[in-house]
């Protein structure tokens, strides 16, 4: 894992920034020509890992977004306008110590009176809206497709299908193949984890008893004198397990969490009998049936893993800065509007379309959409919502997905390009994920990419942010990279409110850092490409550069 270091060509730009009540001049130097930056060889400390997305590539040799540099050298004491950011996700813990002071509050709604005071169709939507009510688990979209078409097509051959039904039959066949493949893989992984635990638990107990402690190290194992053949086998297994965590109890905990994950997927995501949607009382195939859900934007159980996702995303964008607790979000001057529409499974197109429209109609100027799926029966509803957001000057920042795929070869939804055709809106930005290692492993091994369908890259590996019940964790994914960029977008919109959503998107793409080095894609060492060729911009977002460009463009 390598990284480059210093020697850059810089162009000094004197920009007179007179934004939002400040008239002092700023001399700013955009970061350029980073290919010559040497590799970093010292591992990051835990404190550095918690802050790496804010680091500066030139100073720290870590591919962060120069957030700290932007605040110290450009923002300083300047005041911006408040920007509402809609977080369309799994729910947000609105009581979190680092989020409760940065929430959007609906000015037209009186809390708890049971009345739709602002007449927008949603009763007591004080901090946003929950379009999925008490739903936590859900089916995958291809499971819903199979359930829909199975009575009509099961057991039939292609030659027996009428011309009018062939398109639906093809979708059914594709969904069935996907289901069988995924179900088999999940089942196999679950069995493998169970077998490992069955061997590891007694092995760990035996050696822990011999050493007199549970939290032993590789060195402790190596110091065991005259081990029997059985103990040699046990030591070899435990030594191997310690490559994956600092202690065997941690490995066991991860394996048990994995089994729970696989069980949840088999019981919920792949269930052919559970109808999760029925509790809402709506028709998911009727976009005009649009008043359902409730105002509990945290969802029914804030400790569940899926609610953790939305809380983490919200913290990356806007966790209260400099309050002495937790962590600092990318943006100040931000209010988070929580819109719950993403279950633990595939989201419904209807919920996403209505969530986008809700956020737009209630004043959000930036939306974050950290979710996605590969089947979208009502994609046209979401496309219409994206166009609606564009018409209202709202920027949507979207996660590219975590399957290590070239999105120019497969559709993932939501998107703004149908089969690589021209974009349907100029205010939809798709983000891939960066690793903190600068060099050949710069791109996260899970991140999707694509010269046409991915616009930029941003930090997405080991991202420290808010999780429910006043906790904080490292999570990773393009789901984390997207809110990093949404935070930068909110900063541009705060300090340069005259710029349009389309201009902000262009700034984020044009002002980023570019590198020509070859990077590994999808975690496959044999699959490499120049970083400049795996996204439309060929760049990684940089807040410092973006604010400099925004200042110039705003003039």
239: closest CA among 247, 227, 249? 247
153-173: buried (b, 16+ CB within 10 Å) or exposed (e) per residue? beeeeeeebeeeeeeebebbe
Question: What is the distance between the alpha carbons of residues 338 and 316, in angstroms, rounded to a whole number?
Answer: 14
**Cα radius of gyration rounded to whole Å, the chain:** 25
Which of the 8 DSSP states describes residue 47? H
CA dihedral 466, 468, 472, 473 (to 10 degrees): -100
> Residue 457 in contact with residue 63, Cβ under 8 Å?
no
Q: How far from chain centre, in Å, is Cα 430?
A: 11
DSSP-H helix ranges across 425-523: 478-495, 501-510
* Three-state SS at 408: coil
Beta strand 513-514 with 471-475 is unpaired
* Three-state SS at 22: coil
Question: What is the distance between the alpha carbons of residues 261 and 255, in angstroms, rounded to a whole number?
Answer: 10
Contacts of 219 (CB under 8 A, 6+ apart): none
CA angle 378, 382, 388 (to 5 degrees): 145
Query: Active-site residue numbers?
Result: 89, 309, 479
Identify the residue whose tokens are 């509402």. Answer: 84
DSSP letters, 115-147, are: S-TT-SS-TT-SSEEETTTT--B---HHHHHHH
DSSP letters, 220-281, are: HHHT--S--HHHHHHHHHHHHHTTSSSSHHHHHHHHHHHHHHHHHIIIIIT-SS--GGGGG-
> Residue 479 in contact with residue 314, Cβ under 8 Å?
no
């Amino acid at each position: 894992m390598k990284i480059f270091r210093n020697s850059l060509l810089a162009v000094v730009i004197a920009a007179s920034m007179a934004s939002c009540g400040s008239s002092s001049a700023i001399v700013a130097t955009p970061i350029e020509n980073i290919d010559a930056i040497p590799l970093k060889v010292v591992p990051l400390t835990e404190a550095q890992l918690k802050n790496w997305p804010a680091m500066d590539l030139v100073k720290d040799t870590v591919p962060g977004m120069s957030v700290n540099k932007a605040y110290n050298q450009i923002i300083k004491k300047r005041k911006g306008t408040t920007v509402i950011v809609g977080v369309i996700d799994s729910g947000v813990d609105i009581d979190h110590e680092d989020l409760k002071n940065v929430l959007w509050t609906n000015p037209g709604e009186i809390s708890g009176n049971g009345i739709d005071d602002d007449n927008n169709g949603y009763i007591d939507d004080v901090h946003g809206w929950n379009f999925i009510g008490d739903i936590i688990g859900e089916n995958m979209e291809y499971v819903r497709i199979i359930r829909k078409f199975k009575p009509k097509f099961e057991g039939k051959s292609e030659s027996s299908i009428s011309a009018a039904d062939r398109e639906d039959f093809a979708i059914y066949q594709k969904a069935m193949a996907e289901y069988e493949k995924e179900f088999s893989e999940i089942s196999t992984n679950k069995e493998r984890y169970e077998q490992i635990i069955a061997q590891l638990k007694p092995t760990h107990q035996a050696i822990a008893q011999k050493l007199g402690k549970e939290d032993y190290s590789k060195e402790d194992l190596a110091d065991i004198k005259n081990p029997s053949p059985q103990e040699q086998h046990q030591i070899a297994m435990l030594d191997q397990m310690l490559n994956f965590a600092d202690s065997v109890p941690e490995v066991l905990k991860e394996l048990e969490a994995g089994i729970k994950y696989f069980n949840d997927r088999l019981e919920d995501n792949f269930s052919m009998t559970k109808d999760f949607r029925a509790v809402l009382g709506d028709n998911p195939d009727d976009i005009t049936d649009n008043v359902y859900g409730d105002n509990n934007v945290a969802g029914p159980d804030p400790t569940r893993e899926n609610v953790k996702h939305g809380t983490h995303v919200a913290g990356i964008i806007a966790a209260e800065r400099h309050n002495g607790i937790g962590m600092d979000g990318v943006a100040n001057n931000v209010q988070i509007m929580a819109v719950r529409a993403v279950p633990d499974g595939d989201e419904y197109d209807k919920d996403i379309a209505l969530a986008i429209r809700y956020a737009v109609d209630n004043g959000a100027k930036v939306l974050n959409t950290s979710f996605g799926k590969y089947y979208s029966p009502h994609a046209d509803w979401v496309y219409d919502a994206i166009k609606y957001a564009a018409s209202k000057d709202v920027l949507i920042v979207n996660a590219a997905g975590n399957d290590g795929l070239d999105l120019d070869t497969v559709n993932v939804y939501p998107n703004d390009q149908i089969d690589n055709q021209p974009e349907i809106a100029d205010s939809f930005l798709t983000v891939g994920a960066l690793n903190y290692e600068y060099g050949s492993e710069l791109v996260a091994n899970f991140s999707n990419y694509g010269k046409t369908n991915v616009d930029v890259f941003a930090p997405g590996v080991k991202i420290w942010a808010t999780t429910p019940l006043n906790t904080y964790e490292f999570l990773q994914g393009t789901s984390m990279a997207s809110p990093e960029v949404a935070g930068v977008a909110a900063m541009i919109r705060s300090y340069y409110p005259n710029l349009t959503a389309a201009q902000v998107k262009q700034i984020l793409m044009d002002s980023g850092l570019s590198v020509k080095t070859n990077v590994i894609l999808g975690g496959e060492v044999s699959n490499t490409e120049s970083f400049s060729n795996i996204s439309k911009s060929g760049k990684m977002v940089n807040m410092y550069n973006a604010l400099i460009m925004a200042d110039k463009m705003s003039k």
